[in-house]
């Protein structure tokens, strides 16, 4: 379906206004306290003064200058935040006012604005069965708006989801440790190994996106249904209580399997849904991380 540019920009502006207000009202300062630096980096050397830790002496400079110098370190302030966002066929689904793709754009914009206010760099990887687009990390509000626009603008496809390929690409292009938000409905399998590797290199937060109709079928009789990632058509008897119950049980099993896998890998999550606001989920994660860091 062709993209209506005017409608797209209207959507982006609306998301920018709403998420900007949420950042100002609810998340101001919280992002900084949670993601305020991943370590220390070398700053400069200065002359040794009484009371300095002798372990910080730079012996090479000391030998060259003939008297003691110590190394100074500072917190590594500038962070890189990468959004790895699923744009496969299933992301276009939404049974209410918003699709999963729209929710993905909103969370990307919200967290990217928080990062920009903290003077961090933000980048984007869009993926389906392959890498669809890569935007290297940059600073500035224009970078944030481009990220939201790219997520929304991606045209509807029948592409499948390949999370493993997206994570391999991320690890290839992003050598330095980054904060990684993986936004997807996780309708994929066999990506545990790649996620484990990525979680050791980066600070990964998974953001599963769901829609209520994916867990609870309506009683609407016999329906012709299309798989959004394959295009395959099939008949589904939603009037059958057994069919609806099987659908519900399978969805719950998939949800619990994903939850247990992420817990085992010690990967944090932000649960997203098309039928509810998510700022409380973001704040809950921030609060949990502050408590773990001893700042809660």
> Do residues 255 and 124 share a domain?
yes
On whether the CB atoms of residues 208 and 262 are closer than 8 A, the answer is no
Distance, CA of 154 to CA of 85 (rounded, Å) = 11
* β-pair partners for 47: 69
Distance, CA of 229 to CA of 159 (rounded, Å) = 5
Ranges of beta strands (E only) in 218-257 are 222-226, 233-237
> Do residues 45 and 137 share a domain?
no
On whether the CB atoms of residues 217 and 239 are closer than 8 A, the answer is no
On whether the CB atoms of residues 224 and 235 are closer than 8 A, the answer is yes
Distance, CA of 194 to CA of 196 (rounded, Å) = 5
> Do residues 57 and 142 share a domain?
no
> Do residues 52 and 116 share a domain?
no
- The model's pTM: 0.81
> Do residues 71 and 177 share a domain?
no
Tally of domains in the chain: 2
Count of helix runs (H) and strand runs (E) in the chain: 9, 11
Q: What is the maximal distance between C-alpha atoms in the chain?
A: 88
Is the C-alpha dihedral spanning 172, 119, 109, 144 positive or negative?
Answer: negative
Rg (CA), the chain: 23
- Report the CATH number that the domain containing residue 181 is assigned in CATH: 3.40.50.410
Distance, CA of 47 to CA of 94 (rounded, Å) = 63
Nearest CA-CA partner of 121 in 202, 179, 42? 179
Written as six digits, the tokens of 74 are 């500072």
Mind listing the pLDDT tens digit for each residue in 65-119?
A: 899 988 876 555 578 999 999 999 889 888 888 899 999 999 999 999 998 888 8
Structural domain including 216 reads 5-35+78-292
Ranges of beta strands (E only) in 76-215 are 80-86, 121-127, 131-138, 179-184, 203-210
Distance, CA of 190 to CA of 192 (rounded, Å) = 6
Query: Can you give the pLDDT of all 296 residues of the chain as single tens digits?
Result: 445 667 767 777 787 777 878 887 777 678 877 886 555 555 578 888 877 788 888 899 889 989 998 887 655 557 899 999 999 988 988 888 889 999 999 999 999 999 888 888 999 999 999 999 999 999 887 888 888 888 888 766 668 899 999 999 999 999 999 999 999 999 998 999 999 999 999 999 999 999 998 888 887 888 777 776 677 777 887 788 888 888 889 889 999 999 999 999 999 999 999 999 998 999 999 888 888 877 55
Q: Which of 75, 102, 137 is the last residue of a domain?
A: 75
Nearest CA-CA partner of 44 in 33, 56, 28? 56
> Do residues 90 and 220 share a domain?
yes
> Do residues 280 and 188 share a domain?
yes
Nearest CA-CA partner of 282 in 200, 223, 207, 188? 207
> Do residues 134 and 257 share a domain?
yes
């Amino acid at each position: 379906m062709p993209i209506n540019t005017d409608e797209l920009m209207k959507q982006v502006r609306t998301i920018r206004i709403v998420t900007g207000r949420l950042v100002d009202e609810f998340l101001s300062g919280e992002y900084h306290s949670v993601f305020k630096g991943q370590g220390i980096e070398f700053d400069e050397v200065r002359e040794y003064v009484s009371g300095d830790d002798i372990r910080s002496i730079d012996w090479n400079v000391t030998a060259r200058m003939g008297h003691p110098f110590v190394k100074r370190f500072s917190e590594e302030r500038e962070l890189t935040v990468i959004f790895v966002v699923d744009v496969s066929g299933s992301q276009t689904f939404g049974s209410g006012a918003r699709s999963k793709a729209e929710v993905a754009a909103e969370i990307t914009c919200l967290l990217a604005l928080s990062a920009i206010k903290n003077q961090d760099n933000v980048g984007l990887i869009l993926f389906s069965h392959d890498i669809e687009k890569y935007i290297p990390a940059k600073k500035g509000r224009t970078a944030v708006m481009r990220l939201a626009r790219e997520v929304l603008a991606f045209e509807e496809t029948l592409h499948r989801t390949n999370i493993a390929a997206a994570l391999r690409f991320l690890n290839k292009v992003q050598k330095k440790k980054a904060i990684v938000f993986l936004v997807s409905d996780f309708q994929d399998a066999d990506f545990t190994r790649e996620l484990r590797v990525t979680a050791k290199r980066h600070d990964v937060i998974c953001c599963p996106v769901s829609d209520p109709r994916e867990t609870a079928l309506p009683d609407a009789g016999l329906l012709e249904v299309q798989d959004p990632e394959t295009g395959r058509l099939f008949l589904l008897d939603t009037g059958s209580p057994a069919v609806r119950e099987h659908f519900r049980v399978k969805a719950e099993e998939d949800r619990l399997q994903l939850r247990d896998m992420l817990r085992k890998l010690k990967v944090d999550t932000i649960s997203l849904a098309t039928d509810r606001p998510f700022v409380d989920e973001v704040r809950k994660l921030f609060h949990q991380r502050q408590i773990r860091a001893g700042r809660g």
